[in-house]
C-alpha cells in the first residue's frame, strides 16, 4: 500500500509542478509497477487468493530487472552498480526462497489452494495455525496505523501542495 500511496503523492507532486514530468513510458511504468501491481498484490493477499504468490513473484522480478537496467527510482539511486546488482540479487533470491521454500509459506499456499498438506508440513501444521494469530499488542499498533493511514496520506498531499506553492510563489 505504501507504493500505491507513494504513486499518488508523486502524481500530485508532478501535477503541481514541483517535480519533473515523467515521459509517457516512465508514467506507464510507474502506474503499472508502482500502482496497479501493488494494488493487485494487496487484494490477492487480503482475500487469500492463490495467485498472490505469482503476483508477488512478478512484482519482485519486475523491480529486480528495473534495478539491473537502472530504471525507476531504485535503479537510479547513486552508488556502485555492482553493489546494487549484488544487493538486488540477494533480495530477489531471499523473496523467492521465502515464497517457495519456507515451510510456513508452503503451508499457507497449500491451505488457500485447497491442496493436500505435504508430509513434511503435517507435523508443523498445528504450530502454523496457532502462530497465525497476531500478538494483541501488535494488533493494537496495526489497527492504530490503519485507522490513521488516510490522515497521513492527506497530510502528505497537503505538504506537497504547500511545497509547490512556496517553491513557485503562486
Percent of residues, the chain, with pLDDT higher than 90? 12
pLDDT band at 60 (very low <50, low <70, confident <90, very high): very high
- 125 burial level (CB within 10 Å; 0-12, 13-18, 19+): middle
pLDDT digits (tens, 9 = 90+) for 155-165: 877 887 777 77
Q: Give how far Cα 107 sits from Cα of 3, 91, 132, Å.
A: 28, 22, 11
pLDDT digits (tens, 9 = 90+) for 34-52: 888 888 988 888 888 888 8
Q: Give how far Cα 102 sits from Cα of 81, 87, 93, 134, Å.
A: 30, 21, 12, 19
Q: Give how far Cα 7 sits from Cα of 28, 65, 67, Å.
A: 12, 19, 18
Per-residue pLDDT at 94: 94
Instruction: Find the distance separating the first CA and the last CA of the chain, reported in whole Å.
Output: 32
- pTM of the entire predicted model: 0.67
Per-residue pLDDT at 134: 62
Per-residue pLDDT at 35: 86
Amino acid at each position: 500500500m505504501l507504493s500505491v500511496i507513494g504513486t499518488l503523492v508523486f502524481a500530485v507532486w508532478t501535477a503541481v509542478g514541483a517535480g519533473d514530468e515523467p515521459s509517457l513510458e516512465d508514467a506507464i511504468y510507474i502506474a503499472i509497477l508502482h500502482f496497479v501491481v501493488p494494488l493487485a498484490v494487496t487484494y490477492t493477499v487480503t482475500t487469500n487468493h492463490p495467485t498472490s504468490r505469482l503476483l508477488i513473484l512478478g512484482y519482485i522480478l519486475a523491480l529486480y530487472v528495473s534495478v539491473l537496467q537502472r530504471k525507476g527510482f531504485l535503479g537510479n539511486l547513486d552508488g556502485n552498480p555492482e553493489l546494487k546488482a549484488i544487493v538486488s540479487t540477494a533480495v530477489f533470491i531471499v523473496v523467492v526462497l521465502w515464497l517457495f521454500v519456507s515451510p510456513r509459506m508452503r503451508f499457507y499456499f497449500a491451505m488457500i489452494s485447497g491442496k493436500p498438506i505435504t508430509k513434511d508440513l503435517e507435523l508443523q501444521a498445528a504450530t502454523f495455525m496457532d502462530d497465525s494469530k497476531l500478538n494483541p499488542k501488535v494488533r493494537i499498533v496495526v489497527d492504530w496505523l490503519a485507522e490513521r493511514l488516510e490522515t497521513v496520506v492527506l497530510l502528505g498531499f497537503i505538504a506537497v501542495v504547500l511545497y509547490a506553492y512556496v517553491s513557485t510563489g503562486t
